[in-house]
Structure 1
Amino acid sequence: MSLHDDAVRVLKEYEPRDPGQSEWRQAYLDHLAAHPDGVWKACGAGHLTASALVIDPERGRVLLTLHRKLRMWLQMGGHCEPQDATLAAAALREATEESGIAGLTLLPGGPVRLDRHPIPAPCHWHLDVQYAATVPAGAVERISDESLDLRWFRPDEVAGVADSSVVRLLEHSRARLEGCG
């Protein structure tokens, strides 16, 4: 199965929690139907990306990165790579690379949210498929070259440093995490 095929499967199986997410899911599926290269950075009309919010449920905190180019506090994530067999694998790889934490575990149930955001040309759009990942006990983060900073935040601090898309991802991730327990 190709990454494109996996993305279509994941999106068809994704069960949105709100109507806006249903519209995004259909827009992502339409994009993939129109663009066989829609999972790759080279797709000029926009492309899927994969991200994961890193959560430490034991300590009640989330790890955000101060993105080097965008200069915004965000979840870990980025472009799909040829070695990524699935969107989940891409999200996990990105979260591991950008957090420096080995042994992250994606929450069960597939993506937590979808978020579409404009990016300067030539990319135009990132169609982000967002997951959440928990850290293993004793995890220690390590900043990557893609970040200006890497920092743990309490959930009530996130709205003060990040935009609304990260806040919504946190809300949905916490609800998913509570449903797993």
Structure 2
Amino acid sequence: MTSGTQTPGLAELLGRYRPQGPVETADHERLLGLVGASDAWDRSTPLHFTASALIVHPKTKRVLLRWHVKQQAWLQVGGHGDPGETLPLDIALREGREETHLTDLVPWPDASLVHVTVVPVPDSPREPAHEHADLRFLLATESPQDARPENPESPLEWLTLAEARERTTEENFRETLDRAGRLLDAV
């Protein structure tokens, strides 16, 4: 975070996180097993951490989805840590800024994880099939009109939660949308 506040590390985030349901509980246990591993963020390992965020505009209760070419799905922003990066929220913020050009992104409603999940990634010409141990946050913007895709192959769309649920094909992401919806409804 740019305010100089220390962002929580991996062990702290996962240690205080409380999974919901048997699938997330099993995924959370797998993620806890990666904490402390020297290659936990190394994209060449079969299971490694990624950090992502669903960008929300609380005033309109809309969410920003991005087309992911590799996954062939409408999803949240996010990805791998750059070399030396290990703070999940900082990674999600950087990825969010890079993929949307939104410069005012902030954790919302706070810096807590909103969802943890293990996501299968299909093989490609560049890498074998593997899994992402994805750490998901919510980020808010006050200027949704400023969103621009990082490239033409990865368009962005502001949608209502219902539209976003229909647009995505990923059940784990629908769960993230449902959790975001409960938080947005409380505003």
- TM-based fold match above 0.5: yes
Partner of 1:111: 113
Partner of 1:7: 10
- The answer to whether the Cα contact below 8 Å between 2:161 and 2:181 also exists between their aligned partners in 1 is no
Instruction: Work out whether 1:156 is the aligned partner of 2:162.
Output: yes
- The answer to whether the Cα contact below 8 Å between 1:77 and 1:94 also exists between their aligned partners in 2 is yes
Q: CA deviation at 1:123?
A: 5.5
User: What do the CA deviations read for 1:81-124 (whole angstroms, capped 9, x no partner)?
Assistant: 13535111001111111111111111215110011111224361
Instruction: Work out whether 1:143 is the aligned partner of 2:149.
Output: yes
- The answer to whether the Cα contact below 8 Å between 1:50 and 1:80 also exists between their aligned partners in 2 is yes
Percentage identity across paired residues of the two chains: 26
Aligned with residue 40 of structure 1, among 33, 39, 42: 42
> Which TM-score applies when normalising by structure 2?
0.83
Partner of 1:25: 28
- Which range moved further: 13-22 or 53-62? 13-22
> Which TM-score applies when normalising by structure 1?
0.85
1:162-181 correspondence to structure 2 within 5 Å: 162=168, 163-178=170-185, 181=187
Q: Any unmatched runs of 5+ in structure 1?
A: none
SS at match of 1:111: coil
Aligned residues: 174
Q: Any unmatched runs of 5+ in structure 2?
A: 1-7
- Separation in structure 2 between the aligned mates of residue 137 and residue 159 of structure 1, nearest angstrom: 23
Q: CA deviation at 1:168?
A: 0.8
Q: CA deviation at 1:174?
A: 2.5
- The answer to whether the Cα contact below 8 Å between 2:9 and 2:88 also exists between their aligned partners in 1 is yes
- Separation in structure 2 between the aligned mates of residue 79 and residue 161 of structure 1, nearest angstrom: 24
Q: Which residue identity is paired with 2:31?
A: Y
Check 1:40–1:70 CA distance in 2 against 1; reply closer, same or farther (3 A cut): same
SS at match of 1:59: coil
- The answer to whether the Cα contact below 8 Å between 2:56 and 2:141 also exists between their aligned partners in 1 is yes
- The answer to whether the Cα contact below 8 Å between 1:67 and 1:146 also exists between their aligned partners in 2 is no
What RMSD, in angstroms, separates the aligned Cα atoms of the two structures?
2.2
User: What do the CA deviations read for 1:9-32 (whole angstroms, capped 9, x no partner)?
Assistant: 211111223343222211101133
- The answer to whether the Cα contact below 8 Å between 2:48 and 2:133 also exists between their aligned partners in 1 is yes
SS at match of 1:148: coil
